[in-house]
Structure 1
Amino acid sequence: MVILAALCWGLSGGIGGILMADGWDALVVSFYRGAIGLLFVLVWLALRPRGSGLSNPRLWFWSAIAGLGVAGNFAFYFVSIAEGSVAVAATLMYCAPVFVFLVSFALRLERPTLFKWIAIVMVMIGVVLLTRILETGAGGVTPLGVAAGLLSGLSYALFIFGFKYAAPHGTPQAILVIAFAALVTILIWTGDAGQAVAVLGAPTWPLFVILGVLGAGLSFIFYIVGLNHTAPAVASIVAMVEPVTASLFGVVVLGESLAALQILGMGLILITVTALSVHSRVG
């Protein structure tokens, strides 16, 4: 289930890249991904309404925070793809656990250790190699693309914290309903309303549906159900399927390319973040 979720997320990055190459705005693409996801989790909640916790104000508060995080994650991720490439955007987003650790250090929820600091430095080196920040005139990835990719990871970290603090007060499906409703509301106000309406009559509307089904509808359900039957350390490892799938989609389908140092940087990030997640959850 977790592998399927990660595979769906990886493919959704490539599909988003195709839609934005056709001229669709990143926020509009994010809106449809979230709106279709909302329909799926509403059905899930209707089928399993018991113990939802929807009468608990704390559930609403933390779920709304999670919704803000997932809205930022979707939007910044697609902006990063538009300004760079699917491979770079997906790998930068995979840095989310690093942001979780840094916030946890600041809030004293996690104890800093030498291993964790070394891992964070290794990820930063990987980001420098992947984005080619130090290369003068290096094309392909703009500063906005790099910033958006990192912000997508930071937003995902916010979603993780929101979901974690909402979990004791209600069911996963109730949390996701509130989170996706918050996401849709945010993107309605910030996106291009004219483009959003135009999607309904566009020949590419089936791609929007596939994006929503894979990128939010089925994937989040797969992931939540999968986590109930999978050790967290194992889930951390198989989550690497997402950036790898997205990168392969970008190279094979979208014709993107990566230099040798960028591939080295990508490998450094994927291996280090996975090791960091496993070390934390096992320890």
Structure 2
Amino acid sequence: MARLSTAFVVLAALCWGLSGGIGGMLIADSWDPIVVSFYRGAIGLVFVLVWLAVRPQGSGLGSRRLWGWSLMAGLGVAGNFTFYFLSISEGSVAVAATLMYCAPVFVFLVSFALRLERPTPLKWAAIVMVMLGIVLLTRIYDVQPGGVTPIGVAAGLLAGLSYAVFIFGFKYAAPHGSPQAILAIAFSALAFILFWLGDAGQTLAVLSTSSWPLFVTLGVLGAGLSFIFYVVGLNYTAPAVASIVAMVEPVTASLFGVVVLEESLGAIQLVGMALILITVTVLSVSSSGR
């Protein structure tokens, strides 16, 4: 059962990685990042509503705390999707995915501020190493025309910060209800927020465009199946193992960007990417192993 659960986590990370590449294709076709994010979340909402209907036991939908924390998770996932695709539009899939992978660093910083986690020299050293990796990956010291823009860098980091908000919201909602109920509320909030923030004309145009299969694939892989795989897989997967296999997401997204979208990364950028991926993984493993 443990191996099967780990496989579910790997599949979730693989789906998230592919969704970044698919989102990059849609954005390259001039679709607005908010519209792309809306359909990713709205299609995911359909899946979790079906999951909730099939498994309604212990939903906790009558709990105010469940609703409060789940709405917070919804704000987090809405920001994560939107900033991630905005970062892709201002840079590349590889850079955006790697910057978003910095989410555990934000979790630690928030935990330090709230005194939920005790800062140690090792953790601070890891955070400094990640910051160095970000500088090398984005080449923020030498921005070139056509390269990663400051907006792209900021959006990528905000995607990571938003994911940290989702993690906290989901964590504190979990004792009050089922995962499917939490995700149903979160994705409903996402759909409501992004529908009103997005371009109404583009949002409706998706329904009649030839690109609709890509939108459906994005929603199914990026939010529908992936979140279900991840939640189910975590039930029997050690946190340390989950932290390691999560690397599948940025690696898959980066390969998609290079192979399919013909993006390129310089040697210095590859060093920065490796520095971020390795440091964040070690940081996550060491924390979950305590």
The reply to whether TM is greater than 0.5 is yes
Q: Please point out which of 210, 218, 228 is paired with 1:221.
A: 228
What per-residue deviation string (whole Å, max 9, x for no partner) do you get for residues 224-247 of structure 1?
000001000000000000000000
Quote the residue 1:14 is aligned against. Answer: 21
**Partner Cα distance (1:86, 1:98) in 2:** 20
Identity %: 79
**Partner Cα distance (1:269, 1:124) in 2:** 8
What per-residue deviation string (whole Å, max 9, x for no partner) do you get for residues 222-275 of structure 1?
000000010000000000000000000000000000000000000000000000
Quote the residue 2:144 is aligned against. Answer: 137
What per-residue deviation string (whole Å, max 9, x for no partner) do you get for residues 159-198 of structure 1?
0000000000000000000000000011011101110000
**Partner Cα distance (2:199, 2:142) in 1:** 35
How many residue pairs are counted as aligned between the two chains? 283
Segments of 5+ residues of structure 2 without an aligned counterpart are 1-7
Quote the residue 2:82 is aligned against. Answer: 75
Tell me the CA shift for residue 139 of structure 1: 4.2
Tell me the CA shift for residue 137 of structure 1: 3.4
**Partner Cα distance (1:129, 1:215) in 2:** 28
- The residue type equivalent to 2:62 in the other structure is S
Alignment of 1:133-212 (within 5 A): 133-135=140-142, 137=144, 139-212=146-219
Tell me the CA shift for residue 45 of structure 1: 0.3
What per-residue deviation string (whole Å, max 9, x for no partner) do you get for residues 83-112 of structure 1?
000000000000000000000000000000
**Partner Cα distance (2:71, 2:199) in 1:** 22
Quote the residue 2:275 is aligned against. Answer: 268
Contact kept, 8 Å, 2:35 with 2:198, in 1: the verdict is yes
Q: Please point out which of 5, 22, 38 is paired with 2:12.
A: 5
Contact kept, 8 Å, 2:102 with 2:276, in 1: the verdict is yes
- Which contiguous aligned blocks of 4+ residues in structure 1 show a shift greater than 2 angstroms? 136-139
Secondary structure of 1:84's match? Answer: coil
Contact kept, 8 Å, 1:132 with 1:138, in 2: the verdict is no
**Partner Cα distance (1:77, 1:49) in 2:** 32
Secondary structure of 1:69's match? Answer: helix
Instruction: Return the TM-score normalized by structure 2.
Output: 0.97
Q: Please point out which of 31, 37, 49 is paired with 1:30.
A: 37
Quote the residue 2:259 is aligned against. Answer: 252
Contact kept, 8 Å, 1:236 with 1:278, in 2: the verdict is yes
Instruction: Return the TM-score normalized by structure 1.
Output: 0.99
Cα RMSD over matched residues? 0.7
**Partner Cα distance (2:65, 2:150) in 1:** 38
